[in-house]
Each structure stands twice: as C-alpha cells, then as structure tokens.
Amino acid sequence: MIKLKLRKRTREVDETSRTNNSLGLMFWAAVSFLAVLTFCAIFADILPFKNPTQTFKGFNKNGPSGSFLLGNDGVGRDILSRVVYGAQTSLVIAVVGTSIALIIGGSIGLAAGYYRGKVDRLLTIMLNTTLIIPPLILFISLILFLDPAAERRMFILIFTFALLSIAPIGRVVRANTMAWSEREFVLAAQTIGARNGRVMFREILPNVAPSLISYSLIVMATLIIVEGAVAFLGLSVPSPTPTWGDMINKGRPHLDVAPHITLMPALSMFLTVLSLNFIGDKLQEKFESKAAIL
C-alpha cells in the first residue's frame, strides 16, 4: 500500500517539473493562433478575403461551405471576412487601450511604489477613484452621452478602456515595485549616486517587467471581452464596421435555425481571449519559477 503511494508521488513530481521547464505545446498553439489572427487582421485588405459588407443574395443563413468557409450571416455576408475585420477593431482597441494604460498606470505605479509616503498616498487615491464607479456603467454613460457622433466612438472606447485599466495595472506595478524596492540593490544604486529615475528604470523596472507583461496580456483579454459586451449592446463602433459583439447580437434572432452566425464570432472571441489568458498565465508561471531561483 505504501509502495503504491510512493510510486504515484514520483509520477506527480515528474509531471510538474515537465510543465515548469518548457512552455508546452498549448502555449505555442496559442501564440500561433494569435499570430495568424493578427496577421490576417492587419493585412485583411491584401489577403483574399471577401468584402465584409457585401451581401450575397440567396446565401442568407447558409452554413459553412466551400466558398464561405464559416458560412453566411442573416443578410448573406461572409462570416469569415467579418470575423477577420472584427478582429481589427477588437485588437486595435485592446492593444492601444492596454498600451496607454501600461504607460500611464506603469509610471504611476512605479512612482508610487518607489517614492512611497505622500506621493504614494496621492497616487493611490487617484488610482482608487477610477475603481469606484462600476466599469460598464461609466462606460455606457460616456459613450452614449458624451459623443453620439459615431465616428469618434473609437476614441472614446480607447480612452475609457485605458482609464479603466490604469488602476489595475498601476496597482500591480506598485505592489511589485514596493517588493523590489526592499532589496538592497536599490539602496546600493542610490549609494553609487544614481538618480531616482535611473534607479526606477534601470534597476526596478527590468525586475517588474515580466509580471507586468503577463498581467497586461490578461488585461488585454479582459478588454476584448468588455469591448465585445459593449458591441453586443450596440454601443461600440457603429454598424457597417464589423465587430464580434455586434455579430453575436445580430445572430440572436436566428439562434434556433442558424446558430453558426452567433457561434462563429463567439468562437473566435473565445479563442483569442483564451489564448491571451493562457499565454499570460504560462509566462507568469515561467517568470515566477525563475524568480524563485533568484
């Protein structure tokens, strides 16, 4: 009996060490999915995709076929090209929103964690204020009321997304910076005569960066979901431009007869978010196990 248990244990240990050492096949699958999606989204105009706004008469609600790989939607448009063009919107909003939040939230968190004291208190209040109002509500009010003009939706979306992601990113960076500032090499750098800016960017930031990167991937995934939700409510980029959320919403009436209209964009969104989360997770794991050695 004891022998049996012992054997089992060793196998478990083996498996853990294996997953820790390499990133695994799933990781690379996720990366390549994202790479293909990004490539298609950027070069959608050059690649042989059909016009996403063109309606093909007689193909309404058709399932996947040879000429329409993912089928046609309620009015006969090609779902595949709409998914690809929808990826454009989602990716641009998520990437730009996260980058802005990364720059602002990152520097706020770095300063708050490094200087502490009054600076920290002030910046933390700033961060927490943006946490107060439930995100989606802030957002809908902003979109609907501030600028009904549809062309500028993208600006507001990015602005609000950035605003909403500043606080979480800032908090993560702040906590990490605080932990790393405890280390004596920070004091050592000050003793050498390095300026605060140099200490922050040369000594602390490289140590904070790994967890920051994996976290921002997860933020990006969240932004894609929220953008989907907003588009689902019909408040994202207006109609002729395809968005995943809008496609899902438009497919709802045909759910019983042609579920693929809803499921295809939902699936692409699911895979994108899943890949981002998975990559973020794996990187985090990798960095953590590395940090444990240090």
Partner 1 sequence: MKFLKRNIGRIVLTGLVLVILFAWFARPPFSWTFGLLILVGAFGALVTDANYAARRIFSLIPVLLIVSFVVFSLMSSLPGDPALTILGAGATAESIAQLNQELGFDQPFFNRYGNWMGDVIVGDLGTSRILREDVADGISRSITPTLQLMAYSLILAVLIAVPAGMYSGYKNGTRQDRIISYTMLGFLAIPNFVLALVLVLFLAVGGVTIFGVDIGFRWLPAARYVPIGAGWSDHLKHMLLPSLSLAMSQAAVFMRLLRSDMIGTLRLPFIDLARSKGLKTGRILFRHALRPSSFTLITVMGLSVGSLIGGALITEYVFTLPGVGSYIFTGIFKRDFVAVQGAVLVISTLFIVVLTFSDLLYLALDPRLKHQSEAA
Partner 2 sequence: MAGSGNLHLREQEKPLLRVEDLVVNFLSAGGETVQAVSGFSIDVLEGETLGLVGESGCGKSTTARAIIQSPKPTAGSIQLDGVELTELDDEEMRRTRPILQMIFQDPISSLNPRRTIRDVVAEPLYVWWEEETGRLAIASWFEKTGNLFQKISSKFSRPARILAPLAWLSLIFWLVSEASDERSLETWLSWLKTPAQFIGFPVLFILAAMAAALSVVGAVWLVLAVILPFGVISGKFGSVTNTVGLTGLFTSLFAVVFLFFRTWSSLGGVAHWLSSGILLLAVGFLAVWSLLACREPSRAGSSALAVLVFMLFAIQVFYIVGLDGNTKLAVFSLSAAVDGILYWLIARRYKLARAQMRQRAEPEVKRVLEAVGMEVEGSLERKPHEFSGGQAQRISIARALILNPKVVICDEPVSALDVSVQAQILNLLEDMKAAYGLTLVFIAHDLAVVKNISDRVAVMYLGKICEVGPPELLYSAPQHPYTRLLIDAIPRPDPEFDQRNAVRIEGELPSPLAPPSGCRFRTRCPNVQAKCSTEEPQMKEVASGHYVACHYPADSELNQ
The site for partner 1 (CB under 8 A) is made up of: 12-13, 15-16, 19, 129, 131-138, 140-142, 144-148, 221, 225-226, 228-229, 232-233, 245, 248, 252, 255-257, 259, 262-263, 266, 269-271, 273-274, 277-278, 281
**Cα-trace Rg, the chain:** 23
Q: What residue type is 32 in one-letter code?
A: S
Other CB atoms closer than 10 Å to residue 56's CB: what's the count? 17
CB contact set of 116 (below 8 Å; sequence gap of 6+): 178, 181
Spatial CA neighbour of 50 closest among 84, 89, 81, 85: 81
CB of 51 to partner 2, least distance (A): 11
Question: Rounded to an integer, what is the distance from CA 97 to the centroid of its chain?
Answer: 9
Bridge partners, residue 72, by sequence: 78
x-marked contacts with partner 2 along 133-162 as a string, rule CB under 8 A: -------------xx-x-xx-xxx-xx---
Structure-block tokens of residue 40: 């298609």
- Residue 64 · residue 70 · CB < 8 Å: yes
Choosing among partner 2, partner 1, none, which partner's interface includes residue 9 (Cβ < 5 to 8 Å by kind)?
A: none
Of 12, 58, 191, 256, the one binding partner 2 (CB under 8 A) is 191
CB of 106 to partner 1, least distance (A): 21
Of 11, 13, 25, 45, the one binding partner 2 (CB under 8 A) is 45
Residues that bind partner 2 (CB under 8 A): 42-46, 85, 88, 92, 96, 103, 146-147, 149, 151-152, 154-156, 158-159, 183-185, 187-195, 198, 203, 206-207, 241, 293-294
